[in-house]
Amino acid sequence: MRYRLDLQYDGTDFHGWQIQPNAHSVEAEIEKALSTILRETIDCLGCGRTDTGVHASFFTAHFDSSQHVDCEQLAYKLRHLVPETIGILGVSLVEDDFHARFSALSRSYVYRLQYQNNPFNRHFCHLVKPDLDIQLMNESCKDLIGEHEFSAFCKGAPSSNHYRCTVLQAYWVSDNIGAEFHISANRFLRNMVRAIVGTQLEIGRGKLTLDKHRELILGGTRSEAGMSVPAKGLTLCEVVY
């Protein structure tokens, strides 16, 4: 039987979701807890691979078990076994063809900036000077919408042998404390959001024109786009099925 697990986590102390040799991962903690409770070896598959230090206010995984599981009881027990940096939102029985990654229609991220240091936000926001032209940055976001080859915003080779993604929405909201970049797409490339935000900051500081930004989207290279911003400001916030 297949089960869906919805969770959230503070990625500060993790080397991302996926299990890696000699590294602390969210997946490893979840699999260890599930295997302990169910007394069988459990393998999880997540909706994506968040990088080291990236957070998730909503993340979905699935796993198979030979047992009929009381989902409420399993969620309750998981909450007491996983570290405090992981929150269990719920467990549910799903169809056997449900896949946390491939069944997803879209994913949404938010990247947070703060204009002055707040020690309580230091693990979740990137500190920048309040010298950004948010209106111009929102104008440039219009060019991100739609299906494009995002090769200028990908680290390394893409997992699906192409850089094509369909961005559904992209925009900035801001106040006198900081700003947030919101983006949704059918899929994301490795390091894509952080590279886009880094490029957006160059636009907001007048270092990159809208015309050059359009050229990057149409066929630029990674070296031509902006630097990737730190992982700590990025949070996966929604997965739609």
Q: What is the pLDDT of residue 43?
A: 96
Helix (H) or strand (E) holding 141: helix 134-141
Q: Which two tokens stand for residue 238?
A: 């929604």
* Catalytic status, residue 51: yes
**Exposed e or buried b for every residue in 163-178, given b needs 16+ CB within 10 A?**
bebebbebbbebeeeb
Q: What is the pLDDT of residue 47?
A: 96
Catalytic residue among 6, 10, 51, 143: 51
CB half-sphere exposure, 184, CA atoms < 13 A: 11
Distance in angstroms (rounded) separating the CA atoms of residues 180 and 112: 5
Work out the mean pLDDT of the chain and round it to a whole number.
95
- Provide, rounded to the nearest whole percent, the portion of the chain with pLDDT above 90: 92
pLDDT band of 82, cuts 50, 70, 90: very high
Helix (H) or strand (E) holding 179: strand 178-185
**Minimal CA–CA distance to 178: which of 141, 101, 126, 104?**
126
Overall fold of domain 2-94? Alpha-Beta Plaits (3.30.70)
What's the full length of the chain, in residues?
241
Poorest-pLDDT segment among 126-130, 132-136, 154-158, 180-184: 154-158
Quickly list DSSP for 197-230.
HHHHHHHHTTSS-HHHHHHHHHH--GGGSPPPPP
The CATH number corresponding to 106-240 among 1.10.340.30, 3.30.70.660, 3.40.50.300, 3.20.20.70 equals: 3.30.70.660
Query: What is the DSSP secondary structure assignment for residue 17, as one 8-state letter?
Result: S
Q: What is the pLDDT of residue 219?
A: 85
58 C-beta neighbours (distance < 10 Å), count: 17
Report the phi/psi class of residue 7: left, alpha or beta, with left for phi > 0 and alpha for psi in -120 to 50: beta
**Exposed e or buried b for every residue in 22-47, given b needs 16+ CB within 10 A?**
eeebbbbbbbebbeebbeeebebebb
149 C-beta neighbours (distance < 10 Å), count: 17
pLDDT band of 156, cuts 50, 70, 90: confident
Residue 81: φ, ψ to 5°: -105, -30
Domain ranges of the chain: 2-94, 106-240
